[in-house]
Structure 1
Amino acid sequence: MAGNLAGSLAYQLSNTGREAEGLDLARAALAEAGPAAPPRARALYLDRVAWAHTKAGGPESAQQAMRALGEAGEALAEDSEGTESPTWLYWVDAGELQVMESRVYTELHRPLRAVPLLRDVLSRYDATHARELALYLSWLAVACADANEPEEAAATAERVLSLSADVASERTAERGRFVLARLAEYAHVAEVRAVLDLVEPPPHVLDGPHQADSVSGPQQWVRSSVRGEVHTSQVQTTSIVMAKVGDLLMATEASTRLRLSG
């Protein structure tokens, strides 16, 4: 359980601008678990090492990330019905590893690997889980843009915005902003321009005293959320939580390093 906590903190750090610390902690969690850890646990820790390397950036880290993904798959392959695993590992399976693999390849700008993985994941995903579906589609939109497929990226981005309109999630809002920023390179493409116009609507939409009420659905979400005009309380709450996570990390990391050095 200590390794799981350390790995979770490593994941948070890697996603909040503290990539070097996240990588150190992810490695420490894997080392502490050791080769005798249950296969699902090792797969999870290796997945987090892969993500930490991905966020760290650089060619060497990219190679390390892909190596960790391969090792995670090998670890999970050792799992069987007779293998005992802690109950909290119930969700770690081949599908979850595929999600992380697709995210890593998207982040590394390797769309030829990312796009097929994401499409496979999305083909099996429960459409009622709007938040997660929006997140997975956001990675597909970015991967399509990296593959120089702006029309497909725009269509996918529009689905992201439509799903996000009904989800009160700062993470989906952040991903929406990221996707639109990535599409800006293709603003000259008509399909992309139509999606970007959700952020900057045509002048006639904004005319009149009731301009705030003149749009709805994805366009209303984009005008507020993508411009950062909503979810303010969520952002503040997230900042407070992450500050506490950082404090907890310092104590956890020190304890982990002492154990490893001993």
Structure 2
Amino acid sequence: MAMNGQTTRESTEEEDDHNNNGQDNSVNNNGNAAGNQSDGPHRIRTTCDIHSSMDELGYFPILLQDVLWDLGNTVKSLYVTDHYSNPAIGDYDLTRVHIHERLEISRGMRTRSVHNSTMTHITYTASISNAAKRALWSLCYTHRQELHTTKCRHLPRRTSGTEETMVPLGEDGQDRINILARVTAALNNDLEGVTAEFDRTYEKLLKAQPGSPSWKPKLPEENHRWKRMIPLAPPSHRPARDSVTAHLALSLIF
């Protein structure tokens, strides 16, 4: 794995079987090669660049580092982003942030926790920000007792493994802080819900493409409206797109 902005390239899918038979064999058996190519759909090659960084300057990465400082942890977080390239669906990023801490009995470090972005993004910055935000909310919940005397006590909290955000209220009489805290929590929950809808919409769009194993033509009367949104299971490493793509998907499917 490369560090500090460097990348390594990996292949995530195998090439076609007829490409592995050797050049001589392909030349001598042109007819067979042509037959093999028509036996099934052509596999699209997906590549992955792995980018590692410990110096991210976005709003949420900086705020995450502030919280770690208040907790006595001076080790910078490690951001690992998988950048996938696929000719059929475009480029997308998936980020996980590793929270490290120093060992007391040696000079080494250990990984305290790892937090993933909720979904894949088409920009590096958005993927980094999403992973840092989820790490931030989770740490604020886990270490709420240690943070109760710091300015970070006002930050939203999220129990690990859930999508529900809580914002601590102020003291009695602090109506302005309390009402803004409730609005902040509501907006964040709505954002997570919209993100989940986009993810499901893009998944449906992929399945509806010709050539997909589950694809079949739909009659107009088969279309239906969205049902009540339900929470998603922990995010999988599947491609998802930005809000513009998801909006287009909604208009195409429904």
- TM-score, scaled to structure 1: 0.29
- More helix, by proportion: 1
Structure with the greater alpha carbon radius of gyration: 2
Structure in which a larger fraction of residues adopt strand: 2
TM-score by length of 2: 0.30
